[in-house]
């Protein structure tokens, strides 16, 4: 008789576990509000976990034998859970999910403020320094560049004029 009570208790406990798993899925769905693809993926994960949990409860409770009291115990445990504990568990799960979201948001904000913003500030400072050095060097090099370019253009003009004079002075060969 004691063995049968143990098996019934394990099936009731499996029903309570199934209800808890279902409430966790409901809380996550309310918080995330998934689209149809993510909802289907969540359902698939739920049924996989539920199957594993019920299989483990069935094997631990009555060595894999499926009898009528197993179904009664599962439904009784699920009903008991939904009646007594479901609202409290949903409230706690919602609060924990909100706390988790707030914590992740806080950590993200701290990472941005403590790591990303200083890195951006250093990069902008280095960029400004390099830009000022480039402008300073550009101003210093404009004069010599203009001087060299002017001499290049004057030399180019002299060479063109000399080449034109030389070509004008040549006469085409005569036919003999």
pLDDT tens track for 112-137? 888 888 899 999 999 999 999 988 88
pTM as predicted: 0.54
The Cα 8–Cα 14 span in angstroms is 10
Residue burial 87-108, b: 16+ Cβ < 10 Å; e: rest: eebeeebeeebeeeeeeeeeee
pLDDT in tens, 41-56: 877 887 787 777 777 7
The answer to which of 7-21, 129-143, 152-166 has the lowest mean pLDDT is: 7-21
For residue 17 the two structure tokens come to 């576990």
Residues 47-104: pLDDT tens digits? 787 777 777 777 776 776 767 777 777 778 878 777 887 788 888 888 898 999 899 9
Contacts within 8 Å (CB) and 24+ apart, 33-38: none
Q: Which residues, in sequence order, are CB contacts of 38 under 8 Å at separation 6+? A: 32
- Residues 135 and 53: their CA atoms lie apart, in Å, by 70
d(CA 98, CA 90): 12
Q: Determine the Cα–Cα distance for residues 80 and 73; give it in Å rounded to an integer.
A: 10
């Amino acid at each position: 008789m004691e063995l049968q009570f143990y098996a019934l208790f394990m099936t009731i406990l499996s029903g309570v576990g199934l209800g808890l798993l279902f409430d966790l899925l409901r809380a996550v769905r309310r918080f995330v509000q998934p689209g149809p693809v993510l909802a289907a993926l969540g359902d698939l994960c739920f049924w996989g976990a539920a199957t594993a949990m019920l299989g483990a409860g069935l094997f631990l409770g009555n060595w894999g034998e499926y009898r009528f009291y197993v179904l009664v115990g599962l439904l009784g445990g699920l009903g008991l859970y939904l009646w007594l504990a479901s609202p409290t568990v949903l409230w706690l799960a919602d609060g924990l999910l909100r706390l988790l979201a707030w914590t992740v948001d806080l950590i993200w904000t701290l990472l941005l403020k403590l790591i990303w913003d200083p890195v951006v500030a250093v990069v902008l400072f280095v960029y400004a320094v390099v830009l000022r050095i480039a402008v300073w060097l550009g101003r210093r090099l404009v004069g010599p560049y203009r001087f060299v370019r002017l001499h290049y253009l004057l030399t180019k003009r002299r060479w063109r004029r000399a080449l034109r004079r030389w070509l004008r002075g040549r006469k085409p060969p005569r036919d003999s």
